[in-house]
Structure 1
Amino acid sequence: MAHPHPHPHPHPHRHLGVDIGLSGLIKWICYPRVNSEAAGLDVVRSGADRFDGRFAHQLLRDCLVLLGSPLSSREIEVLWLAGTFRAFDLERLGIDGRVWLRRIADICTDRIRRDDPSFTPAAAATVVDEAVREAVFAEIESVGPALEQATAHHSYHPLDGVVPALRRAAEADADLGFRLLLRALKGYFVPISEARYERYLALGDELGLGEDVVDDRDFNIWSDLTD
């Protein structure tokens, strides 16, 4: 049975022409390489200020979703490490995942209050459309073996637990879980088929995401793969 299309989407500032929120920050923080927590926080401040501060709203929203979820600090770290390909390595720097998200959230709150001094952070509504949530779960499961092979068995940057952490993120919020799945696939350059790529575009549309969020030219698409 067809499910209702979720547009218009309740989340503000989603169409910025780039990846948004936490998944966007994960992409940007890698280039150029950032090697200290202080430098990482500088990137966060710069990101929160992008688009006249509009990016801060989505980044704060994502942080509050994860901070309000049952995900452990380690699961949050794994999701971050997968998307960044350990380029900004919370583990090596000794930064707790939940502490890191709280620092990001504080920076975003400060930036939003520059324009709206009365702003009070509050958890945003998450994506609860069950058909969309199940579609995100299905994509995590179907690409899971390839993602597990690419991450846990990587020669230089091995990382365990990516697929279970993505499942947990999608349980907390399908939208964020989907974007973190894409970042993990891009971070570890996991080969995907053209059919899978087309499904991602369609699922992104169902979630109200701009095509720029799904396809930022970082995918590893193989025309001869089938799934």
Structure 2
Amino acid sequence: MEQPHRHLGVDIGLSGLIKWICYPPVNSEAAGLEVVRSCAGQFEGRFAVQLLRDCLVLLDSPLSSREIDALWLAGTFRAFDLERLGIDGRVWLRRVAEVCAERIRRDDPSFTPVAAATAVPGPVREKVLDEIGSAGPALEQATADHAYHPIDGVVPALRRAAEVDADLGFRLLLRALKGYFVPISEARYERFLALGDELGLGEDVVDDRDFNVWSDLVD
């Protein structure tokens, strides 16, 4: 599957869906799938291609359902709570992938989903893993110790995702930091912009005005 256009002016793929499914919150699987259908149809179906790619990357990976749950819940701040709804993380991604494939077949009836090979250079992947490591303590505290919406294992799951696909791992890191409104420094914010550029992401993917940037914070 070819990489789709990555400069749509919004967050893309799975990280984009995670953002959009939160506002307004949805409280059933059926309502969640309606949001997926709406997202898949954006930009004349180009959003569906990227979203399907992200789903297939994780479905083809060794990440467990619990790890996928943690990534999803962190990004959504449990606004669409797979655990509460009793939806297995891998099952959910398969259903999202089916919706995307259906949308793509409207334009290409012969389309067959195939997991895309990842092609992020090793040094860039290491930079993503370094950012996960350095942001890890604050993110782990924000997620695991949250009074109302606790989640365990977010940082290890992010590392595993980034090892499989640094581009997706990076976008899921950003969504988790934004979802739990974790404070970051201006220096980290600038590093995120630079990393996004190295990954070929549009600036709107990295900075959608959801960050909690502190000018006097050092991290």
Report the Cα distance in structure 2 between the residues aligned to 1:186 and 1:138, rounded to whole angstroms. 18
Aligned to 1:130: 122
Contact 1:79 1:184 in 2 (8 A): yes
After superposition, what is the alpha-carbon deviation per residue over 1:159-178, rounded to whole angstroms, capped at 9, x for unaligned? 11000000000011000000
Deviation at 1:207, TM superposition (A): 0.2
The separation in 1 between residues aligned to 2:181 and 2:119, in whole angstroms, is: 27
In 1, Cα distance between the equivalents of 2:21 and 2:209? 17
**Residue of structure 1 in register with 2:61 after alignment:** 69
Distance 2:18 2:114 in 1: 22
The answer as to 2:144 corresponding to 1:152 is yes
CA deviation after TM superposition for structure 1 residue 12, in Å? 1.3
Deviation at 1:127, TM superposition (A): 3.1
Alpha-carbon separation, structure 2, partners of 1:119 and 1:16:
23
| CA distance in 2 between partners of 1:38 and 1:19 (Å) | 23
Q: Which moved more, 1:160-169 or 1:126-135?
A: 126-135
| Matches for 1:55-204 after TM superposition, within 5 Å | 55-204=47-196
What is the distance in 2 between the residues matched to 1:68 and 1:16?
26
State how far apart, in whole Å, the 1-side matches of 2:5 and 2:14 are.
Answer: 13
CA contact (8 A) 1:13 1:57 kept: no
Show the counterpart of 2:216.
Answer: 224
- Distance in 1 between residues matched to 2:59 and 2:66, nearest whole Å: 12
Q: Could you tell me how far apart the structure 2 residues matched to 1:171 and 1:132 are?
A: 11
Matched residues, number: 218
Q: Do 1:127 and 1:133's aligned partners in 2 also have CA atoms closer than 8 Å? A: no
Task: Give the corresponding residue for 1:15.
Answer: 7
Cα distance in structure 2, aligned partners of 1:127 and 1:67: 17
CA-atom RMSD in angstroms? 0.7
How many Å separate the matches in 2 of 1:180 and 1:128? 16
For 1:84 and 1:90, how far apart are their aligned partners in 2?
A: 10
**Normalized against structure 1, the TM-score is what?**
0.95
Structure 1 gaps, min length 5: 1-9
Q: Write the distance in 2 (CA, Å) between the matches of 1:76 and 1:186.
A: 17
> Secondary structure at the residue paired with 2:129?
helix
AA aligned opposite 2:87:
I
One-letter amino acid of the structure 2 residue matched with residue 13 of structure 1: H
Q: SS at 1:192's partner residue?
A: strand
CA drift at 1:14: 1.2
Q: Identical aligned pairs, as a percentage?
A: 84
Distance 1:145 1:75 in 2: 18
Give unmatched runs, 5+ long, in structure 2.
Answer: none
Instruction: Supply the AA of the counterpart residue of 1:126.
Output: T
CA distance in 2, matches of 1:11, 1:214: 18
Moved >4 Å (runs of 4+):
none
Displacement of 1:11: 1.8
Contact kept, 8 Å, 1:127 with 1:175, in 2: the verdict is no
Give me the whole-angstrom Cα distance separating, in 2, the residues matched to 1:11 and 1:135: 22
